[in-house]
Amino acid sequence: MSGLSNKRIVLASRPIGEPKTDDFRLETSTIAPIKDDEVLIKTLYLSLDPYMRGRMSAAKSYADPVAIGEVMVAETAGIVVESKSDRYAVGDYVCCRSGWQEYFVSHHKDPMTYKVDPDKVPLSAYLGVCGMPGRTAYFGLIREGKPVAGETLVVSAASGAVGSVVGQIGKKLGLHVVGIAGGEKKCAYVKEELGFDECVDYKATDFDSALKTACPKGIDIYFESVGGAVTEAVAKQFNLGARAPICGFIASYNATDITKERTPFHIFGELENPPEHKFFLVFDHYADFAEANNALTDWVANGEIKYKETIADGLELASEYFSWLFSGKNFGKLVVKVADE
Q: What digits encode the pLDDT tens for the residues 56-78?
A: 988 777 778 999 999 999 999 99
Q: Which pLDDT score is estimated for 252?
A: 53
d(CA 85, CA 142): 37
Residue 157 pLDDT > 70, yes or no? yes
Residue 192 pLDDT > 90, yes or no? yes
Tell me if 132 sits within 8 A of 49, measured CB to CB.
yes
pLDDT digits (tens, 9 = 90+) for 2-57: 679 999 999 999 998 889 999 999 999 999 999 999 999 999 999 999 889 989 98
Q: Which pLDDT score is estimated for 129?
A: 97
End-to-end CA distance of the chain: 16
Mean pLDDT of 221-226: 94
Nearest to 124 by CA among 330, 316, 323, 308: 308
Q: Which pLDDT score is estimated for 312?
A: 97
Strands 38-47 and 103-107: antiparallel
pLDDT digits (tens, 9 = 90+) for 107-116: 999 999 999 9
Confidence band of 250 (pLDDT split at 50, 70, 90): low
Residue 253 pLDDT > 90, yes or no? no
What are the CB-based long-range contacts (under 8 Å, 24+) for 255-260?
A: 255/17, 256/16, 256/17, 258/59
CATH 3.40.50.720 location in the chain: 132-283
Q: How many residues are given for the chain?
A: 341
CATH 3.90.180.10 location in the chain: 5-127+308-337
Mean pLDDT of 251-257: 57
Mean pLDDT of 190-216: 97
For 170-233, the DSSP string reads: HHHTT-EEEEEESSHHHHHIIIIIS--SEEEETTSTTHHHHHHHH-TT-EEEEEBS--HHHHHH
Q: Which pLDDT score is estimated for 337?
A: 98
Share of the chain above pLDDT 90, in %: 82
Mean pLDDT of 175-198: 97
> What is the CATH architecture of 5-127+308-337?
Alpha-Beta Complex (3.90)
d(CA 250, CA 178): 19
10 Å CB burial of residue 256 (0-12, 13-18, 19+) is exposed
Q: Which pLDDT score is estimated for 207?
A: 97
The per-residue pLDDT of the chain, averaged, comes to 93
Share of the chain above pLDDT 70, in %: 96
Confidence band of 94 (pLDDT split at 50, 70, 90): very high
The DSSP letter of residue 59 is S
What CATH number was assigned to the domain covering residues 132-283? Answer: 3.40.50.720
Tell me, what amino acid is at 176?
A: H
Confidence band of 259 (pLDDT split at 50, 70, 90): low
